[in-house]
Protein backbone atom coordinates (compact mmCIF):
# COMPACT_ATOMS: atom_id res chain seq x y z
CA UNK A 1 0.00 0.00 0.00
CA UNK A 2 2.89 2.33 0.76
CA UNK A 3 4.44 1.56 -2.62
CA UNK A 4 1.20 2.21 -4.50
CA UNK A 5 0.82 5.51 -2.63
CA UNK A 6 4.38 6.59 -3.41
CA UNK A 7 6.08 8.51 -6.17
CA UNK A 8 7.79 5.47 -7.73
CA UNK A 9 4.51 3.82 -8.73
CA UNK A 10 2.91 7.03 -9.97
CA UNK A 11 4.64 6.93 -13.33
CA UNK A 12 4.17 3.21 -14.08
CA UNK A 13 1.99 1.90 -16.87
CA UNK A 14 -0.84 -0.41 -15.95
CA UNK A 15 1.17 -3.39 -17.33
CA UNK A 16 4.10 -2.52 -15.07
CA UNK A 17 1.73 -2.20 -12.13
CA UNK A 18 0.28 -5.61 -12.92
CA UNK A 19 3.73 -7.21 -12.90
CA UNK A 20 4.67 -5.54 -9.61
CA UNK A 21 1.39 -6.41 -7.88
CA UNK A 22 1.54 -9.98 -9.15
CA UNK A 23 4.96 -10.50 -7.57
CA UNK A 24 4.09 -8.68 -4.36
CA UNK A 25 0.69 -10.37 -4.23
CA UNK A 26 2.27 -13.83 -4.27
CA UNK A 27 4.61 -12.77 -1.48
CA UNK A 28 1.69 -11.43 0.56
CA UNK A 29 -0.17 -14.73 0.13
CA UNK A 30 2.96 -16.68 1.05
CA UNK A 31 3.33 -14.65 4.25
CA UNK A 32 -0.34 -15.19 5.13
CA UNK A 33 0.12 -18.93 4.56
CA UNK A 34 3.26 -18.94 6.69
CA UNK A 35 1.56 -16.96 9.47
CA UNK A 36 -1.29 -19.44 9.59
CA UNK A 37 1.12 -22.37 9.82
CA UNK A 38 3.02 -20.60 12.60
CA UNK A 39 -0.25 -20.04 14.43
CA UNK A 40 -1.08 -23.73 14.19
CA UNK A 41 2.38 -24.60 15.47
CA UNK A 42 1.99 -22.30 18.48
CA UNK A 43 -1.37 -23.89 19.34
CA UNK A 44 -0.37 -27.53 18.83
CA UNK A 45 -0.70 -29.44 22.09
CA UNK A 46 0.96 -32.66 23.06
CA UNK A 47 -1.13 -35.79 22.61
CA UNK A 48 -0.78 -38.86 24.80
CA UNK A 49 -0.55 -42.42 23.55
CA UNK A 50 0.60 -41.76 19.96
CA UNK A 51 1.26 -45.21 18.44
CA UNK A 52 2.43 -46.33 15.05
CA UNK A 53 0.76 -48.99 12.90
CA UNK A 54 2.68 -51.75 14.74
CA UNK A 55 1.45 -50.49 18.10
CA UNK A 56 4.81 -48.97 19.16
CA UNK A 57 4.18 -46.03 21.47
CA UNK A 58 5.89 -42.69 20.85
CA UNK A 59 6.51 -41.38 24.35
CA UNK A 60 9.19 -38.81 23.63
CA UNK A 61 8.05 -35.50 22.14
CA UNK A 62 10.25 -32.79 20.66
CA UNK A 63 9.15 -29.34 19.52
CA UNK A 64 10.33 -27.21 16.61
CA UNK A 65 10.72 -29.93 13.99
CA UNK A 66 10.17 -28.19 10.68
CA UNK A 67 10.02 -29.14 7.04
CA UNK A 68 9.64 -27.22 3.76
CA UNK A 69 6.43 -26.98 1.75
CA UNK A 70 6.63 -25.44 -1.70
CA UNK A 71 3.23 -23.88 -2.42
CA UNK A 72 1.74 -21.97 -5.32
CA UNK A 73 2.84 -18.77 -3.57
CA UNK A 74 6.39 -19.82 -2.70
CA UNK A 75 8.14 -21.89 -0.05
CA UNK A 76 6.95 -21.95 3.57
CA UNK A 77 8.13 -23.88 6.63
CA UNK A 78 5.87 -26.20 8.61
CA UNK A 79 6.85 -26.42 12.27
CA UNK A 80 5.29 -29.15 14.43
CA UNK A 81 5.80 -31.60 17.29
CA UNK A 82 7.75 -34.79 16.64
CA UNK A 83 6.69 -37.97 18.45
CA UNK A 84 9.72 -40.20 18.82
CA UNK A 85 10.77 -43.66 19.97
CA UNK A 86 14.20 -45.26 19.93
CA UNK A 87 14.89 -47.10 16.68
CA UNK A 88 11.64 -45.90 15.03
CA UNK A 89 10.84 -43.14 12.55
CA UNK A 90 9.29 -39.98 13.92
CA UNK A 91 5.56 -39.43 13.74
CA UNK A 92 4.09 -36.00 13.07
CA UNK A 93 0.32 -35.94 13.69
CA UNK A 94 0.13 -32.31 12.50
CA UNK A 95 1.32 -33.47 9.07
CA UNK A 96 -1.65 -35.78 8.85
CA UNK A 97 -4.07 -33.03 9.85
CA UNK A 98 -2.64 -30.84 7.08
CA UNK A 99 -2.46 -33.83 4.71
CA UNK A 100 1.04 -32.79 3.68
CA UNK A 101 2.56 -34.64 0.74
CA UNK A 102 5.45 -37.01 1.32
CA UNK A 103 7.72 -34.67 -0.65
CA UNK A 104 8.02 -30.90 -0.46
CA UNK A 105 5.76 -29.77 -3.33
CA UNK A 106 2.18 -28.99 -2.34
CA UNK A 107 -0.90 -30.74 -3.69
CA UNK A 108 -1.95 -27.48 -5.33
CA UNK A 109 1.24 -27.43 -7.40
CA UNK A 110 0.84 -31.10 -8.21
CA UNK A 111 -2.73 -30.59 -9.39
CA UNK A 112 -1.69 -27.70 -11.62
CA UNK A 113 1.18 -29.74 -13.05
CA UNK A 114 -1.17 -32.67 -13.76
CA UNK A 115 -3.73 -30.48 -15.52
CA UNK A 116 -1.12 -28.71 -17.64
CA UNK A 117 0.65 -31.97 -18.46
CA UNK A 118 -2.61 -33.42 -19.76
CA UNK A 119 -3.12 -30.35 -21.95
CA UNK A 120 0.29 -29.99 -23.59
CA UNK A 121 3.94 -30.94 -23.53
CA UNK A 122 5.99 -31.16 -20.35
CA UNK A 123 7.89 -28.05 -21.44
CA UNK A 124 4.61 -26.16 -21.83
CA UNK A 125 3.51 -27.38 -18.39
CA UNK A 126 6.71 -26.00 -16.86
CA UNK A 127 6.11 -22.65 -18.59
CA UNK A 128 2.48 -22.57 -17.42
CA UNK A 129 3.54 -23.14 -13.81
CA UNK A 130 6.11 -20.36 -14.13
CA UNK A 131 3.38 -18.01 -15.36
CA UNK A 132 0.72 -18.96 -12.83
CA UNK A 133 2.74 -19.36 -9.62
CA UNK A 134 5.67 -17.91 -7.71
CA UNK A 135 7.84 -21.00 -8.06
CA UNK A 136 9.73 -22.89 -10.75
CA UNK A 137 9.36 -26.63 -11.16
CA UNK A 138 11.69 -28.65 -13.40
CA UNK A 139 10.55 -30.77 -16.32
CA UNK A 140 11.54 -34.05 -14.67
CA UNK A 141 9.61 -33.09 -11.55
CA UNK A 142 6.53 -32.28 -13.63
CA UNK A 143 6.75 -35.70 -15.27
CA UNK A 144 6.89 -37.28 -11.83
CA UNK A 145 3.89 -35.27 -10.64
CA UNK A 146 1.86 -36.53 -13.61
CA UNK A 147 2.66 -40.15 -12.81
CA UNK A 148 1.85 -39.71 -9.13
CA UNK A 149 -1.39 -37.88 -9.94
CA UNK A 150 -2.72 -40.74 -12.07
CA UNK A 151 -2.15 -43.62 -9.64
CA UNK A 152 -5.76 -43.78 -8.41
CA UNK A 153 -7.44 -43.85 -11.84
CA UNK A 154 -8.55 -47.48 -11.66
CA UNK A 155 -9.60 -47.26 -8.00
CA UNK A 156 -11.67 -44.14 -8.69
CA UNK A 157 -13.81 -45.81 -11.34
CA UNK A 158 -13.96 -49.05 -9.37
CA UNK A 159 -15.49 -47.07 -6.50
CA UNK A 160 -18.07 -45.54 -8.85
CA UNK A 161 -18.99 -48.96 -10.17
CA UNK A 162 -19.40 -50.27 -6.64
CA UNK A 163 -21.76 -47.53 -5.53
CA UNK A 164 -21.93 -44.69 -8.04
CA UNK A 165 -24.97 -43.44 -9.89
CA UNK A 166 -25.84 -44.46 -13.41
CA UNK A 167 -25.69 -41.42 -15.73
CA UNK A 168 -28.22 -43.14 -17.99
CA UNK A 169 -30.75 -43.96 -15.27
CA UNK A 170 -33.46 -41.83 -16.88
CA UNK A 171 -32.82 -43.19 -20.37
CA UNK A 172 -33.43 -46.92 -20.12
CA UNK A 173 -34.72 -47.01 -23.70
CA UNK A 174 -31.42 -45.72 -25.07
CA UNK A 175 -29.01 -48.09 -26.77
CA UNK A 176 -25.86 -48.85 -24.77
CA UNK A 177 -22.86 -48.70 -27.10
CA UNK A 178 -19.31 -49.86 -26.51
CA UNK A 179 -16.42 -49.30 -28.87
CA UNK A 180 -12.69 -50.03 -28.84
CA UNK A 181 -9.76 -49.16 -31.05
CA UNK A 182 -5.99 -48.75 -30.95
CA UNK A 183 -3.57 -45.94 -31.70
CA UNK A 184 0.22 -46.25 -31.91
CA UNK A 185 2.57 -44.14 -29.75
CA UNK A 186 6.24 -43.66 -30.55
CA UNK A 187 8.11 -45.16 -27.60
CA UNK A 188 11.63 -45.31 -26.32
CA UNK A 189 13.26 -48.64 -27.24
CA UNK A 190 13.03 -50.03 -23.69
CA UNK A 191 9.27 -49.31 -23.58
CA UNK A 192 8.35 -51.34 -26.65
CA UNK A 193 6.55 -54.64 -26.32
CA UNK A 194 8.98 -57.58 -26.64
CA UNK A 195 7.82 -58.65 -30.10
CA UNK A 196 8.07 -55.10 -31.48
CA UNK A 197 11.46 -54.57 -29.84
CA UNK A 198 12.75 -57.77 -31.44
CA UNK A 199 11.64 -56.59 -34.89
CA UNK A 200 13.24 -53.19 -34.32
CA UNK A 201 16.48 -54.85 -33.22
CA UNK A 202 16.48 -56.88 -36.41
CA UNK A 203 16.52 -53.79 -38.60
CA UNK A 204 19.24 -53.22 -41.14
CA UNK A 205 22.47 -51.40 -40.31
CA UNK A 206 21.53 -48.39 -38.23
CA UNK A 207 22.24 -44.87 -39.39
CA UNK A 208 23.09 -41.99 -37.08
CA UNK A 209 21.18 -39.20 -38.80
CA UNK A 210 17.88 -40.93 -39.61
CA UNK A 211 15.80 -44.01 -38.94
CA UNK A 212 17.01 -47.08 -40.79
CA UNK A 213 14.79 -49.46 -42.75
CA UNK A 214 12.54 -51.35 -40.34
CA UNK A 215 13.03 -48.95 -37.42
CA UNK A 216 10.18 -46.56 -38.24
CA UNK A 217 7.64 -49.35 -38.59
CA UNK A 218 8.67 -50.87 -35.25
CA UNK A 219 9.00 -47.89 -32.95
CA UNK A 220 5.40 -47.70 -31.75
CA UNK A 221 3.44 -49.35 -28.98
CA UNK A 222 -0.30 -49.61 -29.34
CA UNK A 223 -2.48 -47.65 -26.92
CA UNK A 224 -5.83 -49.34 -26.45
CA UNK A 225 -8.77 -46.95 -26.28
CA UNK A 226 -12.27 -47.77 -25.08
CA UNK A 227 -15.57 -45.90 -25.01
CA UNK A 228 -19.02 -46.41 -23.52
CA UNK A 229 -21.93 -44.16 -24.41
CA UNK A 230 -25.66 -44.04 -25.02
CA UNK A 231 -27.73 -43.10 -28.06
CA UNK A 232 -31.40 -42.36 -28.43
CA UNK A 233 -32.52 -44.60 -31.34
CA UNK A 234 -33.00 -42.84 -34.68
CA UNK A 235 -34.42 -45.26 -37.29
CA UNK A 236 -33.02 -44.74 -40.78
CA UNK A 237 -33.11 -46.38 -44.16
CA UNK A 238 -30.12 -47.19 -46.40
CA UNK A 239 -31.01 -44.22 -48.61
CA UNK A 240 -30.96 -41.98 -45.54
CA UNK A 241 -27.34 -43.00 -45.03
CA UNK A 242 -26.25 -42.98 -48.69
CA UNK A 243 -28.00 -39.91 -50.06
CA UNK A 244 -26.95 -39.55 -53.69
CA UNK A 245 -26.60 -36.52 -55.91
CA UNK A 246 -29.84 -34.52 -55.78
CA UNK A 247 -31.20 -36.51 -52.82
CA UNK A 248 -30.30 -33.86 -50.22
CA UNK A 249 -28.08 -34.40 -47.16
CA UNK A 250 -28.00 -37.75 -45.33
CA UNK A 251 -30.29 -38.09 -42.32
CA UNK A 252 -28.60 -37.18 -39.03
CA UNK A 253 -27.15 -40.21 -37.26
CA UNK A 254 -27.97 -40.89 -33.57
CA UNK A 255 -26.17 -38.56 -31.16
CA UNK A 256 -23.84 -39.99 -28.52
CA UNK A 257 -24.51 -38.93 -24.92
CA UNK A 258 -22.94 -39.69 -21.52
CA UNK A 259 -19.61 -40.67 -23.04
CA UNK A 260 -17.02 -42.41 -20.87
CA UNK A 261 -13.50 -42.93 -22.21
CA UNK A 262 -10.47 -44.90 -21.11
CA UNK A 263 -7.06 -45.56 -22.62
CA UNK A 264 -3.93 -47.51 -21.72
CA UNK A 265 -0.57 -48.18 -23.31
CA UNK A 266 0.31 -50.65 -20.53
CA UNK A 267 -2.79 -52.84 -20.45
CA UNK A 268 -3.67 -55.28 -23.20
CA UNK A 269 -6.72 -54.99 -25.41
CA UNK A 270 -8.34 -57.75 -23.33
CA UNK A 271 -7.94 -55.70 -20.13
CA UNK A 272 -9.26 -52.49 -21.67
CA UNK A 273 -12.24 -54.31 -23.16
CA UNK A 274 -12.97 -55.82 -19.73
CA UNK A 275 -12.89 -52.30 -18.25
CA UNK A 276 -15.31 -51.13 -20.93
CA UNK A 277 -17.67 -53.96 -20.08
CA UNK A 278 -17.38 -53.08 -16.37
CA UNK A 279 -18.45 -49.51 -17.08
CA UNK A 280 -21.29 -50.65 -19.33
CA UNK A 281 -22.43 -53.11 -16.67
CA UNK A 282 -22.52 -50.29 -14.12
CA UNK A 283 -25.00 -48.53 -16.38
CA UNK A 284 -27.08 -51.63 -17.02
CA UNK A 285 -26.41 -54.18 -14.26
CA UNK A 286 -29.45 -56.28 -15.14
CA UNK A 287 -28.62 -56.32 -18.87
CA UNK A 288 -32.06 -55.01 -19.78
CA UNK A 289 -30.97 -52.54 -22.43
CA UNK A 290 -29.88 -53.14 -26.02
CA UNK A 291 -26.09 -53.53 -26.21
CA UNK A 292 -24.19 -52.74 -29.41
CA UNK A 293 -20.44 -52.97 -30.02
CA UNK A 294 -18.86 -50.94 -32.83
CA UNK A 295 -15.45 -52.05 -34.11
CA UNK A 296 -13.22 -51.41 -37.11
CA UNK A 297 -13.02 -55.11 -37.99
CA UNK A 298 -10.00 -56.09 -35.87
CA UNK A 299 -10.41 -59.81 -35.23
CA UNK A 300 -8.72 -59.76 -31.83
CA UNK A 301 -11.08 -57.04 -30.61
CA UNK A 302 -14.09 -58.95 -31.93
CA UNK A 303 -12.94 -62.15 -30.23
CA UNK A 304 -12.39 -60.39 -26.90
CA UNK A 305 -15.79 -58.69 -27.05
CA UNK A 306 -17.48 -62.02 -27.76
CA UNK A 307 -15.59 -63.66 -24.91
CA UNK A 308 -16.48 -60.94 -22.41
CA UNK A 309 -20.13 -60.96 -23.46
CA UNK A 310 -20.33 -64.74 -23.14
CA UNK A 311 -18.67 -64.80 -19.71
CA UNK A 312 -21.07 -62.13 -18.43
CA UNK A 313 -24.16 -63.62 -20.12
CA UNK A 314 -24.75 -60.46 -22.16
CA UNK A 315 -26.52 -60.42 -25.51
CA UNK A 316 -24.57 -57.97 -27.65
CA UNK A 317 -24.63 -57.16 -31.36
CA UNK A 318 -21.25 -56.45 -32.96
CA UNK A 319 -21.20 -54.16 -35.97
CA UNK A 320 -18.24 -53.31 -38.18
CA UNK A 321 -17.83 -49.59 -38.77
CA UNK A 322 -19.69 -48.53 -41.91
CA UNK A 323 -16.99 -46.02 -42.88
CA UNK A 324 -14.40 -48.82 -43.03
CA UNK A 325 -16.68 -50.81 -45.34
CA UNK A 326 -17.20 -47.76 -47.53
CA UNK A 327 -13.44 -47.23 -47.82
CA UNK A 328 -13.01 -50.82 -49.01
CA UNK A 329 -15.66 -50.23 -51.66
CA UNK A 330 -13.91 -47.08 -52.86
CA UNK A 331 -10.61 -48.94 -52.96
CA UNK A 332 -12.22 -51.63 -55.11
CA UNK A 333 -13.68 -48.99 -57.43
CA UNK A 334 -10.22 -47.92 -58.57
CA UNK A 335 -9.68 -51.42 -59.95
CA UNK A 336 -12.47 -50.70 -62.44
CA UNK A 337 -12.44 -46.94 -63.04
CA UNK A 338 -9.90 -44.29 -63.75
CA UNK A 339 -9.08 -41.85 -60.98
CA UNK A 340 -11.66 -39.06 -60.86
CA UNK A 341 -14.18 -40.89 -63.07
CA UNK A 342 -17.71 -39.87 -61.89
CA UNK A 343 -18.90 -43.37 -62.77
CA UNK A 344 -16.91 -44.66 -59.79
CA UNK A 345 -19.11 -42.66 -57.43
CA UNK A 346 -22.27 -44.14 -58.93
CA UNK A 347 -20.80 -47.65 -58.69
CA UNK A 348 -19.80 -47.20 -55.02
CA UNK A 349 -23.22 -45.74 -54.21
CA UNK A 350 -25.02 -48.74 -55.71
CA UNK A 351 -22.79 -51.28 -53.99
CA UNK A 352 -23.01 -49.42 -50.66
CA UNK A 353 -26.81 -49.45 -50.81
CA UNK A 354 -26.71 -53.18 -51.47
CA UNK A 355 -24.47 -53.79 -48.45
CA UNK A 356 -26.71 -51.61 -46.27
CA UNK A 357 -29.63 -53.73 -47.46
CA UNK A 358 -27.92 -56.88 -46.19
CA UNK A 359 -26.44 -58.11 -49.48
CA UNK A 360 -22.72 -58.06 -48.59
CA UNK A 361 -22.07 -61.57 -49.92
CA UNK A 362 -23.83 -60.78 -53.20
CA UNK A 363 -21.76 -57.60 -53.56
CA UNK A 364 -18.54 -59.56 -52.92
CA UNK A 365 -19.46 -62.05 -55.63
CA UNK A 366 -20.37 -59.27 -58.06
CA UNK A 367 -17.01 -57.53 -57.49
CA UNK A 368 -15.07 -60.72 -58.22
CA UNK A 369 -17.22 -61.45 -61.27
CA UNK A 370 -16.67 -57.95 -62.66
CA UNK A 371 -12.90 -58.25 -62.20
CA UNK A 372 -12.89 -61.60 -64.00
CA UNK A 373 -15.19 -60.40 -66.80
CA UNK A 374 -12.92 -57.42 -67.46
CA UNK A 375 -9.91 -59.74 -67.57
CA UNK A 376 -7.98 -57.71 -65.01
CA UNK A 377 -4.52 -58.93 -64.14
CA UNK A 378 -3.58 -59.87 -60.58
CA UNK A 379 -2.13 -56.47 -59.75
CA UNK A 380 -5.02 -54.43 -61.11
CA UNK A 381 -7.69 -56.54 -59.42
CA UNK A 382 -5.90 -56.74 -56.07
CA UNK A 383 -8.02 -54.07 -54.34
CA UNK A 384 -11.21 -55.58 -55.72
CA UNK A 385 -10.32 -59.02 -54.35
CA UNK A 386 -9.30 -57.49 -51.00
CA UNK A 387 -12.69 -55.78 -50.73
CA UNK A 388 -14.56 -58.99 -51.61
CA UNK A 389 -12.53 -60.95 -49.04
CA UNK A 390 -13.29 -58.32 -46.38
CA UNK A 391 -17.03 -58.33 -47.06
CA UNK A 392 -17.19 -62.11 -46.84
CA UNK A 393 -14.99 -62.33 -43.73
CA UNK A 394 -17.04 -59.69 -41.88
CA UNK A 395 -20.46 -60.63 -43.23
CA UNK A 396 -21.57 -61.78 -39.77
CA UNK A 397 -21.00 -58.27 -38.45
CA UNK A 398 -22.64 -56.34 -41.30
CA UNK A 399 -26.29 -56.61 -40.28
CA UNK A 400 -27.00 -53.02 -41.19
CA UNK A 401 -30.68 -53.57 -42.04
CA UNK A 402 -31.44 -54.53 -38.43
CA UNK A 403 -29.25 -51.75 -37.03
CA UNK A 404 -30.77 -49.02 -39.20
CA UNK A 405 -34.34 -50.12 -38.62
CA UNK A 406 -33.74 -50.18 -34.86
CA UNK A 407 -32.09 -46.76 -34.90
CA UNK A 408 -28.61 -47.90 -33.83
CA UNK A 409 -25.38 -46.16 -34.82
CA UNK A 410 -23.27 -47.93 -37.44
CA UNK A 411 -20.10 -45.81 -37.42
CA UNK A 412 -17.20 -45.60 -34.98
CA UNK A 413 -16.89 -41.83 -34.96
CA UNK A 414 -16.85 -41.66 -31.16
CA UNK A 415 -13.90 -44.00 -30.70
CA UNK A 416 -12.08 -42.52 -33.70
CA UNK A 417 -12.46 -39.11 -32.11
CA UNK A 418 -11.28 -40.50 -28.77
CA UNK A 419 -8.14 -41.93 -30.39
CA UNK A 420 -7.40 -38.55 -31.88
CA UNK A 421 -8.20 -36.55 -28.73
CA UNK A 422 -6.79 -38.81 -26.04
CA UNK A 423 -3.78 -40.13 -27.93
CA UNK A 424 -2.78 -38.37 -31.13
CA UNK A 425 -3.30 -34.73 -30.11
CA UNK A 426 -1.03 -35.10 -27.07
CA UNK A 427 1.19 -38.13 -27.63
CA UNK A 428 2.04 -37.51 -31.27
CA UNK A 429 3.92 -34.26 -30.71
CA UNK A 430 6.77 -33.96 -33.22
CA UNK A 431 9.93 -35.58 -31.91
CA UNK A 432 8.32 -37.06 -28.80
CA UNK A 433 9.40 -40.53 -27.66
CA UNK A 434 7.63 -41.81 -24.60
CA UNK A 435 8.58 -43.89 -21.62
CA UNK A 436 5.97 -46.40 -20.55
CA UNK A 437 5.02 -44.86 -17.19
CA UNK A 438 4.91 -41.30 -18.50
CA UNK A 439 2.72 -42.22 -21.46
CA UNK A 440 0.33 -44.20 -19.28
CA UNK A 441 -0.04 -41.35 -16.78
CA UNK A 442 -0.78 -38.76 -19.46
CA UNK A 443 -3.39 -41.01 -21.08
CA UNK A 444 -5.13 -41.47 -17.72
CA UNK A 445 -5.09 -37.74 -16.97
CA UNK A 446 -6.50 -36.91 -20.41
CA UNK A 447 -9.24 -39.50 -19.96
CA UNK A 448 -10.21 -37.95 -16.62
CA UNK A 449 -10.55 -34.53 -18.19
CA UNK A 450 -12.43 -35.93 -21.20
CA UNK A 451 -14.86 -37.61 -18.79
CA UNK A 452 -15.43 -34.30 -16.95
CA UNK A 453 -14.58 -35.85 -13.60
CA UNK A 454 -11.24 -34.22 -12.77
CA UNK A 455 -12.48 -32.40 -9.64
CA UNK A 456 -14.14 -35.51 -8.23
CA UNK A 457 -11.08 -37.56 -9.03
CA UNK A 458 -8.67 -35.13 -7.39
CA UNK A 459 -10.70 -35.10 -4.16
CA UNK A 460 -10.64 -38.91 -4.22
CA UNK A 461 -6.89 -38.90 -4.94
CA UNK A 462 -6.17 -36.57 -2.00
CA UNK A 463 -8.18 -38.84 0.30
CA UNK A 464 -6.19 -41.86 -0.90
CA UNK A 465 -2.94 -39.91 -0.44
CA UNK A 466 -3.98 -39.18 3.15
CA UNK A 467 -4.51 -42.88 3.74
CA UNK A 468 -1.19 -43.88 2.14
CA UNK A 469 1.06 -41.15 3.54
CA UNK A 470 -0.48 -40.58 6.97
CA UNK A 471 -3.24 -42.91 8.18
CA UNK A 472 -1.25 -46.04 7.29
CA UNK A 473 1.44 -45.00 9.82
CA UNK A 474 -0.86 -44.88 12.86
CA UNK A 475 -2.46 -47.50 15.05
CA UNK A 476 -5.96 -48.25 13.76
CA UNK A 477 -5.32 -45.61 11.08
CA UNK A 478 -6.32 -42.89 13.56
CA UNK A 479 -4.26 -39.72 13.51
CA UNK A 480 -4.17 -38.04 16.95
CA UNK A 481 -5.21 -34.40 16.83
CA UNK A 482 -5.17 -31.77 19.54
CA UNK A 483 -5.63 -28.08 18.76
Best CA proximity match to 433, nearest among 125, 209, 193, 187: 187
Cα separation, 129 vs 138, whole angstroms: 10
Global pTM value:
0.88
8 Å CB contact between 129 and 135 = yes
Q: What is the pLDDT of residue 377?
A: 94
Neighbouring residues of 267: CB distance < 8 A, sequence distance ≥ 6: 224, 275
Indicate the pLDDT class of residue 163, thresholds 50, 70 and 90: low
Cα separation, 274 vs 173, whole angstroms: 24
Of 92-101, 157-166, 199-208, which range is least confident?
199-208
What would the pLDDT profile of 196-242 be if each residue is shown by its tens digit?
777 777 655 566 555 555 556 678 999 999 999 999 999 999 999 98
The DSSP 8-state label assigned to residue 474 in this structure reads B
Indicate the pLDDT class of residue 432, thresholds 50, 70 and 90: confident
Cα separation, 177 vs 376, whole angstroms: 42
Neighbouring residues of 280: CB distance < 8 A, sequence distance ≥ 6: 176, 178, 228, 291
Best CA proximity match to 396, nearest among 318, 324, 323: 318
Cα 402 to chain centroid, rounded: 32
382: buried, middle or exposed (CB in 10 Å: 19+, 13-18, 0-12)? middle
Residue 483 has pLDDT above 80, yes or no: no
Neighbouring residues of 404: CB distance < 8 A, sequence distance ≥ 6: 235, 236, 237, 238, 240, 241, 356, 410
Q: Which residues pair with 182 in a beta bridge?
A: 224
Q: What is the pLDDT of residue 201?
A: 72
Amino acid sequence: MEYLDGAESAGLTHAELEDRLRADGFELLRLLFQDHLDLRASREQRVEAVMDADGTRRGWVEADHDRPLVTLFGEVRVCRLAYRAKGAANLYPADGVLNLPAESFSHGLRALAAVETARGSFEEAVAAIDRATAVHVGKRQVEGFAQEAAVDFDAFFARDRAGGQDPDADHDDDVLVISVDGKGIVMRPEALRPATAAKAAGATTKLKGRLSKGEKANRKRMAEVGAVYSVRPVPRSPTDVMAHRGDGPPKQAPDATDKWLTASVVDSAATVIADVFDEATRRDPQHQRTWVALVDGNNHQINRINKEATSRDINITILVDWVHVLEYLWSAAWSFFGEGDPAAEDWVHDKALAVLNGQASIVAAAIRRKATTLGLDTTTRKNADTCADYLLAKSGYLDYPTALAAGWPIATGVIEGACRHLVKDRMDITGARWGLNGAEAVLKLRALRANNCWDDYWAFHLDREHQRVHQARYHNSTIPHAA
